[in-house]
Amino acid sequence: MKILVTNDDGIFAEGLWILARELKNIAQVVVVAPDREQSAIGTAVTLSQPLRARRVKPMVPGVEAYSVEGTPADSVILALGKLITSKIDLVVSGINQGLNLGNDVLISGTVGAALQGYLRGFPALAISVASEDNLYLDNAAKVATLLTKKIEANSLGTSVFLNVNLPDLPLAKIKGVKVTRLADESHIDTVEEGHDGRRKYYWLVRQRIDKHTDDMTDMGVVEQGSISITPLHTYLNSKSPRIITDSFCSDLFQELQKNQR
């Protein structure tokens, strides 16, 4: 088995290498990651300038590693399209230092990188931990290893895209593992204004919504001390397009034609 390991915290992030070290016990590992931290960059790809990749000395011996001057998504596209010539079986993105829950998956670089793998037909995992101080990254690496074994045994089927989040707890205090759906909300974004002496500036400030007791959601489950596994897919169509009907569309087209000069 050969695994592409990437992240959005950058090639020097501790979580990336703890993940690579653990996965190396059961598979061949290639690390291709951005040269710097790029959290919240989502699925962004670089189309307006060339991408450069550099083979770097790995922090785990025996791992092939590349640093990419690009986004997490760029790193995966480059890895799968050019840098790695042999067959890859799985893409794992993480371990992100900070949770990726609810609608934040839409801006998460960790999930964005996994998505690029999934879109190209590879099973993909995004793994994040609550901790900002890296106390329990090992737990996440172990979960990644176990999931990898299940994927290898083909017990998860062919279409795998999982968003995994762990609470900031030692293994003995973790209550369980639960399958979840994404919470409807995760953060409140506010804009703070300041002045640098010459010009006004703005900071987008994120505040996590805590109090999620719904134990079907990723936020609720992590808050209650369990590991959340959310199966994702890329179907963005609204399931209830009620208002936008065929007659709505033909009306719109008629109005458009009326305005023709």
Residue ranges binding Mn ion (CB under 5 A):
8-9, 39, 96
User: What is the smallest separation between the CB atom of 96 and Mn ion, expressed in angstroms?
Assistant: 4
Q: Which is nearer to Mn ion, 9 or 104 (CB)?
A: 9
Task: Outline where 120-170 has alpha helix (H).
Answer: 137-152
Residue nearest to Mn ion (CB): 39
User: What is the smallest separation between the CB atom of 130 and Mn ion, expressed in angstroms?
Assistant: 13
Query: Is there a contact between 30 and 39 (Cβ–Cβ < 8 Å)?
Result: no
- Residue 33 contacts by C-beta under 8 Å, 6 or more apart in sequence? 5, 6, 7, 10, 11, 13, 16, 65, 66, 67, 68, 72, 75
User: What is the smallest separation between the CB atom of 42 and Mn ion, expressed in angstroms?
Assistant: 11
Query: Is there a contact between 136 and 170 (Cβ–Cβ < 8 Å)?
Result: yes
User: What is the smallest separation between the CB atom of 195 and Mn ion, expressed in angstroms?
Assistant: 30
Query: CA separation (Å) from 30 to 111, 123, 137, 153, 258?
Result: 18, 15, 19, 21, 59
Residue 37: exposed, middle, or buried by beta-carbon count in 10 A (0-12, 13-18, 19+)? Answer: middle
Q: Which is nearer to Mn ion, 39 or 230 (CB)?
A: 39
User: What is the smallest separation between the CB atom of 235 and Mn ion, expressed in angstroms?
Assistant: 25
3-state secondary structure of 249: helix
